[in-house]
């Protein structure tokens, strides 16, 4: 992808600043920004952003307000075929539910690849939207998360708060 075709905005969320990158028609990444080194500004939907940027910002706002449970913007996963398969499986975990890394490897019919799958989850560049935060340890512990464990905990509690009792049941 040509560098001139990448659009970048910052979005202030309840879990800190996020950097959103898009092409002219697909979401490329949603990354956590260290608040100590980057300015924390709220993104505004403006007409000079491509529609996909506007759509992503709006859907993230709705998610954090508890009004959105499913994201539906077009995304571009940049990685190996294996990584794309792992990240695609994450999209199958419903809002407000969690699975273990072991369960994820079983779903992928590749139980011996649990470490590779967990490592790949950690390389997810489209945080929150590709919900790697919904994968937890087999014992229910919160393990590994690129945005820090307090963010993972916050996101899971946020989803629990806005999901129905039926949605809150774990998948494993």
141 is catalytic: no
Tell me the β-bridge partners of 136.
Answer: 100
Which residue in the list 15, 75, 77, 132 is annotated as catalytic?
132
Residue 100 CB contacts under 8 Å (≥ 6 apart), including other chains: 135, 136, 137, 138, 172
Residue 148 CB contacts under 8 Å (≥ 6 apart), including other chains: 32
Q: How far apart are CA 88 and CA 11, in angstroms?
A: 24
Q: Where are the beta strands (DSSP E) in 33-133?
A: 99-100
Q: Are 127 and 164 in contact (CB under 8 A)?
A: no
Residue 78 CB contacts under 8 Å (≥ 6 apart), including other chains: 28, 125
Tokens 């939207």, residue?
Answer: 129
| Residues recognised as catalytic | 132
């Amino acid at each position: 992808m040509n560098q001139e075709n990448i659009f970048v905005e910052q979005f202030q969320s309840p879990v800190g600043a996020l950097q959103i990158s898009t092409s002219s028609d697909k979401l490329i990444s949603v990354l956590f920004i260290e608040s100590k080194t980057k300015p924390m500004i709220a993104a505004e939907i403006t007409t000079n952003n491509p529609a996909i940027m506007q759509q992503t910002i709006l859907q993230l706002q709705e998610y954090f307000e508890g009004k959105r449970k499913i994201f539906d913007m077009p995304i571009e996963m940049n990685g190996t075929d294996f990584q794309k398969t792992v990240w695609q499986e994450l999209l199958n975990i419903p809002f407000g539910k969690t699975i273990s890394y072991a369960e994820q490897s079983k779903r992928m019919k590749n139980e011996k690849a649990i470490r590779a799958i967990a490592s790949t989850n950690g390389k997810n560049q489209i945080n929150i939207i590709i919900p790697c935060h919904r994968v937890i340890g087999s014992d229910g512990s919160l393990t590994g998360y690129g945005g820090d464990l307090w963010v993972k905990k916050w996101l899971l509690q946020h989803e629990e708060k806005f999901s129905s009792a039926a949605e809150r049941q774990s998948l494993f």
